[in-house]
Amino acid sequence: MRLVTASEMATIDRLAINEFGIPGVVLMENAGQQVVRAVIDLLGNPAGKHVVILSGKGNNGGDGFVVARHLLNMGAQVQIFLAAEQDQINGDAQVNLNIWNKTGQKVFPLTKSNDINLVRLALMNADLVVDALYGTGFKGTIQKPMASFIEAINACGKPVVAVDIPSGLEADTGRVNGPCIRASHTVTFALPKIGLVLPESKPYVGKLRVTDISIPAALLADQKAQRNLITRQLVCKNWPRREGGEHKGSFGRVLLIAGSRGMSGAAVLAAQAAVRSGAGLVTLGVPAGIHNIVEAKLTEVMTFPLPETINGTLDKTALDLITDRAVDIDVMALGPGLGGSSETKTLVRELLLKIDKPCVLDADGLNAMNGRTELFRLAKSDLVLTPHPGEMARLCGLSIDKVQNNRLETTAKKAVEWNTIVVLKGAGTVIAEPSGSIYINNTGNPGMASGGTGDVLTGIIAGLIAQGMTAGKAAAAGVYLHGRAGDEAAQQKGMAGMLATDLLEHLPGVIKELEQEAGSIMSFTICHI
């Protein structure tokens, strides 16, 4: 699903009005009705319920007037607090304010600091609050007296529905620079704004709903969109089909080079993930000293020993053995648990220059490239890099804080500079392609912050590439599946103590859901995320 900035959404709205002839007041009416649906989902029948609506002076406030009218018609007790004088309201918002006034209902202006007492009293009796104060054009910091009203809403303990975006949140960056509404639900219109799906905004957005307000699909479905949210529909659209009559070779061959003394688990997890993701044949090469261990642990994966150093890591003399094995593969995965010996680092660099198959590079494979990132551009085939923030910081020569504070920009810049697909892991994993396309993932949970889960992701992405997905689509689908499996594990077992093997256990069920749905997915669907 396409992600937009505030200005891009404003352009879409303007085109819908001026080019397609949809009156702005119609779009406002549709937006308000979508918010009403969310309110009903939370309250049930609104008759007799007390709803407090805080409206600003722009179109966001106009949406609030529409919400108020519909809830009043359904029997709710509605109070509107307006963060302006009524003569400051104009355009479509004024149309809906006039309708409200003609119903004989009051509007309570919020223009003085002592108005906070009236708001607090209303909040004490409220069943639900609607935030229609600030829209997607907001930037900066909310000052008093409005700051006090937002703090009172957050402290009232009642469910809050934000209209389009929580007041105080920046639509383009997800940044919060001061007081900000902490919504239980946010109802946004037509397309999600970038700031709504970033991990830092999650405590303020709550459950995000992306809703249809009748903007023509032609305006929403930009085939050249540079930023996208990874949704179930997007993954299903690109999912490899199984028509019947295939054999194991039909679903690809993965060569995984991983492991070292004391880190056989990383190799095993990555190999199992490649099999679980649907790859037909998976072969794992490890240092000879741990070969018997991984062979005992793996039943469905072929294994072979490789020359090792005195420290139990791969020796650089393994190069020819690996390249010989790589002749008939579809994808290589390189890095989990390899260790950091100089011989192993040399081997990784030489492999990237010799192997002409797509390669997923992770963990110690990435660490081998510190200070040598110019080699990425010399690789013979597509590279998928899967760094966590610490690994990304080392590759870029930046601090972890600088990477984390600029996740989208850093990932996109390096994907172009290195001519690779970059998967920056963490909350809100970011995938960037050299073409400039960016994908943001919102599956997953903090329970996945444990050893081995990154190795599972490496195996999943490699397994999907083996089945014929392009490297970029496999990376996007892989992080989505990885997060969904983690979410299923958290739901059944809780987040504390979650293991990487729990993801492997739930991965087939998540894939089954996709396979069942894949045949009926359209190229674009408005949905609940």
Is residue 431 within 8 A of residue 238, CB to CB? The reply is no
Residue type, 430: V
Note the pLDDT tens digit of each residue in 494-523.
Answer: 999 999 999 999 999 999 998 888 754 433
* Residues counted in the chain: 529
Rounded CA separation 61/39 (Å): 16
Domains of the chain by range and CATH?
6-229 (3.40.50.10260), 248-513 (3.40.1190.20)
Name residue 130's beta-bridge partners.
53, 161
88-92, 257-261, 515-519: least confident range: 515-519
Note the pLDDT tens digit of each residue in 468-490.
Answer: 999 999 999 999 999 999 999 99
pTM here?
0.90
SS (H, E, C) 463-507: HHHHCCCCHHHHHHHHHHHHHHHHHHHHHHHCCCCCCHHHHHHHH
Tokens of residue 434, six digits? 């050299």
How many other C-beta atoms lie within 10 A of the C-beta of residue 296?
11
pLDDT of residue 237: 87
Tokens of residue 313, six digits? 């890591």
Give yes or no for a cis peptide into 387 (omega within 30° of 0): no
Tokens of residue 125, six digits? 């009796």
Nearest to residue 226, comparing CAs of 403, 436, 393, 79? 436
Rounded CA separation 398/379 (Å): 24
Note the pLDDT tens digit of each residue in 408-433.
Answer: 999 999 999 999 999 999 999 999 99
- Given a cut of 70, whether residue 310 has pLDDT beyond it is yes
Note the pLDDT tens digit of each residue in 171-228.
Answer: 999 999 999 999 999 999 999 999 999 999 999 999 999 999 999 999 998 767 789 9
Nearest to residue 302, comparing CAs of 265, 254, 262? 254
Mean pLDDT of the 223-248 span:
80
Exposure string over 78-96, b if 16+ CB within 10 A, otherwise e: bbbbbbbeeebbeebbbbb
Note the pLDDT tens digit of each residue in 148-158.
Answer: 999 999 999 99
Mean pLDDT of the 103-132 span:
93
Note the pLDDT tens digit of each residue in 322-361.
Answer: 999 999 999 999 999 999 999 999 999 999 999 999 999 9
Q: Percentage of residues in the chain with pLDDT exceeding 70?
A: 96
pLDDT of residue 247: 62
Gap between the terminal Cα atoms of the chain: 10
Rounded CA separation 465/484 (Å): 19
Residue 286's H or E segment, with its range, is strand 281-287
Rounded CA separation 31/212 (Å): 8
Distances (CA, A) of 350 to 285, 339, 346, 379, 392: 16, 16, 6, 10, 21
Exposure string over 336-356, b if 16+ CB within 10 A, otherwise e: bbbbebebbbebbbbbbeebe
Tokens of residue 178, six digits? 């001061």
Q: Which long-range CB contacts under 8 A does 21-25 form with residues at least 24 apart? A: 22/214, 22/215, 22/216, 24/59, 24/91, 24/92, 25/92, 25/95, 25/96
Tokens of residue 380, six digits? 């013979």
What lies within 8 Å, CB to CB, of 505 at 6+ separation is 489
pLDDT of residue 519: 56
DSSP secondary structure string for all residues of 366-400: HHTTTT-GGGGGG-SS-EEE---HHHHHHHHT--H
pLDDT of residue 113: 78
- Given a cut of 60, whether residue 526 has pLDDT beyond it is no
Interstrand relation of 160-163 and 430-432 (parallel, antiparallel or unpaired): unpaired
Tokens of residue 294, six digits? 């991984």
Is residue 230 within 8 A of residue 439, CB to CB? The reply is yes
Helix (H/G/I), strand (E/B), else coil: 96: helix
Distance, C-alpha 401 to centroid of its chain: 20
How many other C-beta atoms lie within 10 A of the C-beta of residue 71?
25
- Given a cut of 50, whether residue 527 has pLDDT beyond it is no
Tokens of residue 319, six digits? 């190069």
pLDDT of residue 112: 81
